[in-house]
A and B are shown apart, each in its own frame.
Chain A
């Protein structure tokens, strides 16, 4: 027989080396497991945190200011006459191009100033270059105004070759309209300022010498066989402009001529009909006594940038009012450093610009986002030339005879809080608006990156979904948890919870392809449902409760829902079958056309009603399940107490049970809301995905989530658009996370309260 031996165990020696080894192995394993689990567990949690951190990491560069860094400096001893009239850089920012008064075109290294190539303009004898201007739609097409009143038009282009695997850029100067100088201003007067605009079929030149403004239009005629372009000249008689003319610009659409005269006056001349140019308006460009110092087009030529002697740069563009009248409007202004602006340089690919003043300050600005990205004092003297490279990654700053070559880091100027969430006045719009339009086909497009319409669409979809889901789910939860017979509850609950697992892509597909046409065809029936089904239920309920108790008691209490299933089906069928009659009686046969023509309510087939129904369906189980749990777990003795005191079951429910469970129900609604906000596939498939700001139930919307799904695959990695989509994801993440956390905390407190009851 076995006998426990406590003091002395002869058979088992716990101190053998083998046993000790075994023991230490066990403890080692224990130790390793502890560390392994801790590292693994924390690692997983860190991985989850990584989502948040990574989203932030992608979004952060959007709000960074511009940075500049000096690359190199070179000095040239040049006289005032040798100062370049015009400078630019080619795509790679390797070569700087400059033109001087003697007609020399030099291409020199941007880093060292070393001259690489040199050409000369074919100037007529005895003349020199007095002014240079570039075409607003093609920056490489230049017009040189000469001292004899003539103009030479030329173009500079670059060819890249790779001899010995090293990049070699060769410039080329061409004369698209011949090397011969064109007459613009009579009397051999020098051209002071010049405007040019070149389009498919017309070339416009405008300039002035001492006083009078001249303009010449050239109609282009292309030879079919040789494809050679010949110009047919036509002098345009412009109306008189008051004051001393200081600058002239021709809009690239060749609709408007902007003439700046006097200290701050801008005359707008309509040149749409080239035979009858007429003055539209005269505008004071500055409010106070400030004087305009410089004027240029922003990329695309729709906006004017006006710099004055108080350091303000203002943006103006043409706005059409309700009466189809055009007028020049000031849109926004930027401030550099309070000193007279000497130069404004638009960026080549974006709606940004640089400005310099005569105390050596340089600023980088972005118009749409109303953003000042950088202001810095780069020189003690006035800035003579400021050039930005086409890719906006380098700039050349000339001042006091030395030229500095700067690296510019300005990746995402188009984003600011006001551009993302505020109303922005975009070019060509009548007033500031919220618009999301991230891409277009042309290059000088102004990206409209307001997240407001998307956020609005998200909330709109969520709102209509909650409108359906909240009453249905909560009422259902109340009945299931409080009144329903347990046997039925065990069957009903899993059925409704099964809805939660239904892939939303299926709901979206049904919403888009089955429900949307159904609703479109029987809109009146759908609204009739809202009336007839509750009435049907109440009628049946009253009849049933008035029946003799013998029949009533055949069905045990708590099975009402089962009785109502045929009632709902029949009343639903009646409502739908009434569709035709209702439409014919009240809405001239078709509710949809009636809405559009009589009420002026636009109707889209895939609209918020469809989304509300489909997404409401997806949200019902979430709310139902949590709310049902909350009501069911209210301690029973509370309701028993109330019932014992003579309250009806409904009174008990309303005044005791629901009151106790209300935080739980609230958190259920919050979590349901979180789900509706983030849902992607249903909105993607059941709406037209147009980013409009309209609460109309018969129009669609575009939500943040659907927008990401649509645009993310086409977005260029690292671009502003890409990062804004990340921002949209971050907004969704934070919103749902905060809402869910709040709901969770409410539920936690509720649980504590129950356990104390």
Chain B
């Protein structure tokens, strides 16, 4: 046997197998990580069954608990004993469940750990209701009655259908209120602010004639009147909005009254059929992608973050593409191929390896504090001391990331240019074309897929980069999108939200991390999908390109 082993060892085979093991581990790590994100991210939207059970830890009073089981883990008995629980003799480990119990307004916290063993009399009552609310998180309990202006309208069995009808009404009023608050009032406010700046500008120039001031004042009157009208309308809407309320009891028996105005969605998860659950799931996914965040970003959607990321990436692409391509063309087609060019090429290559935070520091110091404050002095004097471009914002973030991704585009484009056989260029020149014509009509079109590859890689890198953005423009909650209906429509000076930063912020700066965690997984999944798609398409384009020029090279 030992001879056999030593023979086996001498062939070197164990080493080969260990190396194969490294590959296997790496692959498992990648797939496992993506799988983890996918499962946790996608699972978040599924309506979980609400468990109701008697919880009877030894030595403690028996009580009712209700909630969705959101996590399960095994813990050693010692640790539980250390936490003051009486663990039965002879057990080493116990399973405990993280129960999402909701009702933060009643019990103080959304989650509770329970020991699986001590849950008795488990049941899934069909009439238990889950309410998603605009504040205090979810509510789980039984619906008792519906009130209108404080008087009970319906009670008992009939309450649920009536409730749904009235909830639809409340939600449609909410949409109206939202439209007025977000868009119409926002637009009037932006107009008023522009008037203020105009007036201040006139005063600074010394051209503030009484005539002009009167004009501004007249306009301001008009806008303020508009504002008054909207305010009155809003007041009416709010009265109608808060007309209805419902009375519900938690499983422990605490009765609460909940205004309809605070309810986003209501469902009976234990009574839902599979189809209903799928529909519910799709609805939730839709909400996640298209809605604004709620409750300090821990609920609702991530639309502003998606929008901010996309906006920033588009601006970055617009900036980085021409510059990257020009630099690559210069290095490959025009510069003397001496040691200096080689040195520059190496330097550019290495810039891709410089930590992104360094670019962030540069962006903050040079673009924002230096260039930005100069721009403010010259063009936005009327807004001072409030800075316009002298503060982190979309434009600076885009430029910083453009600088960060410039090496990627340069390297990819150069590679594309170097793959074009010189016979093609020489052919064009021999036919009498100038160098510029050769470049425009022959070389660049042939290199365009390489540029695309570079751009896609740049976009993928920019979309996932967070560290520099933390210094040059992202915020946890932007009041409005950087693109809207108010002049000048594209607000380059505004701060914006970003998917990557959203993950960092909600996962680490949020007061209620436990509640926010599923949403962070979902956000991470979204980001991974976007970036994986971008990268895979870059790989596909590169392969296609290689195939295409194989024939030319031969």
- Distance of A298 Cα from B404 Cα, bound (Å): 46
Residues from chain A with Cβ under 8 Å of B28 in the complex = 565, 568-569
A30 within 8 A of B: yes
- Distance of A736 Cα from B359 Cα, bound (Å): 13
Residues from chain B with Cβ under 8 Å of A712 in the complex = 360-361, 364, 471
Binds A, one of B252-260, B415-423, B479-487, B523-531: B523-531
User: Contact check: which of A26, A475, A580 meets B93 at CB < 8 Å?
Assistant: A580
- A510 pairs with B12, CB closer than 8 A: no
User: Binary interface profile of B, 341-359, with partner A (CB < 8 Å = 1, else 0)?
Assistant: 0001011111101111111
Chain A residue at smallest Cβ distance from B439: A33
Q: Which of A650, A681, A748 has the most chain B CB atoms closer than 10 A to its own CB? A: A681
- Distance of A617 Cα from B20 Cα, bound (Å): 18
User: Binary interface profile of B, 467-485, with partner A (CB < 8 Å = 1, else 0)?
Assistant: 1001100000000000000
Binds A, one of B211-219, B243-251, B263-271, B331-339: B331-339
- Distance of A479 Cα from B520 Cα, bound (Å): 36
Residues from chain B with Cβ under 8 Å of A538 in the complex = 14, 17-18
Residues from chain B with Cβ under 8 Å of A678 in the complex = 353-358
- Distance of A732 Cα from B353 Cα, bound (Å): 11
- Distance of A280 Cα from B535 Cα, bound (Å): 72
Residues from chain B with Cβ under 8 Å of A620 in the complex = 26, 29
Residues from chain A with Cβ under 8 Å of B507 in the complex = 509, 512-513, 685
Known: A521-B75, A545-B8, A679-B355. A560 touches B33 (CB 8 A): no
Residues of B1-31 contacting chain A, CB below 8 A: 4-5, 8, 11-31
Residues of A503-530 contacting chain B, CB below 8 A: 503-506, 508-510, 512-514, 521
Residues from chain B with Cβ under 8 Å of A684 in the complex = 467, 504
- Distance of A680 Cα from B19 Cα, bound (Å): 30
- B437 pairs with A561, CB closer than 8 A: no
- A471 pairs with B22, CB closer than 8 A: yes
Residues from chain B with Cβ under 8 Å of A58 in the complex = 365
User: Contact check: which of B19, B92, B520 meets A584 at CB < 8 Å?
Assistant: B92
- B508 pairs with A505, CB closer than 8 A: no
User: Contact check: which of B29, B437, B534 meets A617 at CB < 8 Å?
Assistant: B29
Known: A498-B532, A712-B364, A736-B353. A503 touches B500 (CB 8 A): yes
Binds A, one of B145-153, B276-284, B457-465: B457-465
Residues of A37-84 contacting chain B, CB below 8 A: 37-38, 40-42, 44-45, 47-48, 50-51, 54-55, 58
- A624 pairs with B471, CB closer than 8 A: no
A485 CB to closest chain B CB, in angstroms? 11
- Distance of A597 Cα from B437 Cα, bound (Å): 77
Residues from chain A with Cβ under 8 Å of B349 in the complex = 740, 744
Residues from chain A with Cβ under 8 Å of B224 in the complex = none
B506 CB to closest chain A CB, in angstroms? 9
- Distance of A27 Cα from B75 Cα, bound (Å): 80
B76 within 8 A of A: yes
- B531 pairs with A501, CB closer than 8 A: yes
A559 CB to closest chain B CB, in angstroms? 9
- A648 pairs with B11, CB closer than 8 A: yes
Known: A534-B18, A546-B4. A479 touches B361 (CB 8 A): no
Binds A, one of B134-142, B172-180, B322-330: B322-330
- Distance of A514 Cα from B41 Cα, bound (Å): 13
Binds B, one of A335-343, A445-453, A488-496, A632-640: A488-496
- B30 pairs with A55, CB closer than 8 A: no
Binds B, one of A347-355, A395-403, A669-677: A669-677
Q: Which of B37, B403, B436 has the most chain A CB atoms closer than 10 A to its own CB? A: B436
Residues from chain A with Cβ under 8 Å of B14 in the complex = 538, 541-542
- B27 pairs with A680, CB closer than 8 A: no
Residues from chain B with Cβ under 8 Å of A334 in the complex = none
- A27 pairs with B434, CB closer than 8 A: yes
B77 within 8 A of A: yes
- A502 pairs with B528, CB closer than 8 A: yes
Known: A479-B20, A509-B504. A42 touches B330 (CB 8 A): yes
- A505 pairs with B330, CB closer than 8 A: no
A157 within 8 A of B: no
- B73 pairs with A736, CB closer than 8 A: no
A754 within 8 A of B: no
Chain A residue at smallest Cβ distance from B433: A26
User: Contact check: which of B5, B16, B407 meets A483 at CB < 8 Å?
Assistant: B16
- B528 pairs with A744, CB closer than 8 A: no
User: Contact check: which of A55, A537, A680, A713 meets B356 at CB < 8 Å?
Assistant: A680
Residues from chain A with Cβ under 8 Å of B333 in the complex = 37
A573 CB to closest chain B CB, in angstroms? 12
Residues from chain A with Cβ under 8 Å of B365 in the complex = 54-55, 58, 726
A484 within 8 A of B: yes
B36 within 8 A of A: yes
Known: A51-B358, A58-B365. A508 touches B504 (CB 8 A): yes
User: Contact check: which of B20, B513, B520 meets A561 at CB < 8 Å?
Assistant: B20
- A732 pairs with B520, CB closer than 8 A: no
Residues from chain B with Cβ under 8 Å of A541 in the complex = 13-14, 17
- B344 pairs with A45, CB closer than 8 A: yes
A717 within 8 A of B: yes
Residues from chain A with Cβ under 8 Å of B133 in the complex = none
Known: A502-B531, A537-B17, A675-B353. A564 touches B366 (CB 8 A): no
B503 within 8 A of A: yes
Q: Which of A48, A473, A678, A736 has the most chain B CB atoms closer than 10 A to its own CB? A: A48
- Distance of A472 Cα from B30 Cα, bound (Å): 13
User: Contact check: which of A26, A561, A726 meets B361 at CB < 8 Å?
Assistant: A726
- B30 pairs with A499, CB closer than 8 A: yes
- A568 pairs with B25, CB closer than 8 A: yes
Q: Which of A27, A45, A494 has the most chain B CB atoms closer than 10 A to its own CB? A: A45
Residues from chain B with Cβ under 8 Å of A563 in the complex = 20
- Distance of A513 Cα from B439 Cα, bound (Å): 52
- Distance of A561 Cα from B26 Cα, bound (Å): 10
User: Contact check: which of A27, A475, A498 meets B19 at CB < 8 Å?
Assistant: A475
User: Binary interface profile of A, 457-481, with partner B (CB < 8 Å = 1, else 0)?
Assistant: 0000000000000011101101110
- A729 pairs with B361, CB closer than 8 A: yes
Residues from chain B with Cβ under 8 Å of A50 in the complex = 366
User: Contact check: which of A38, A709, A745 meets B470 at CB < 8 Å?
Assistant: A709
Contacts beyond the supplied A506-B503, A564-B20, A708-B471: 5 A-B pairs with Cβ under 8 Å:
A38-B330, A505-B503, A534-B21, A650-B12, A709-B471
Q: List 8 A-B contacts (CB under 8 A).
A: A41-B331, A476-B25, A506-B464, A512-B508, A521-B75, A560-B20, A732-B355, A740-B350
